[in-house]
Structure 1
Amino acid sequence: MKMPRLGQKTTKSRDFICDRVRLCRLDRLGVWGGAACAEFAVNLETYWALDRLGASFTRDIVSCNTPSVRRADMKYALITTAIAAFSTAASAGAFFNEVEDNNTIAMANDVGTFDIPGGSVAIDGTIGSGDVDWFSFTLNNTASLSFFAGFASSGGADGIMQVVSSTGDVLAFDDDSGVGFMPAIQLENLNAGTYYIGFSGFGDVDDSSVLSDELADGLGHQEDFGYKISVGFTIVPAPGAMALMGMGGILITRRRR
Structure 2
Amino acid sequence: MSDNDELDRQEARSANSVLHNGIRVLRSFSVDEPALGVTEIARRVDLHKSTVSRLLNQLEQLDLVLRDPESGRFRLGLGLIGIAGPLLANLDVRRVAYPSLERLTERTGETSALVVWSGHESVSVEQVPSPKLVKHTTPIGTRYTTAASSSVQVFLAELPEGRARELLERGLVRSERRDDVEVSAYLERLAAVRASGVAINAGETHVEEVGISAPVRDHRGHLVAALLLSAPSFRVSEQLRDQLAGVVRETAAEISTRLGAPGCGGDALPHP
- The TM-score, its normalising length taken from structure 1, stands at 0.27
Q: Greater share of strand residues, 1 or 2?
A: 1
Q: Greater share of helix residues, 1 or 2?
A: 2
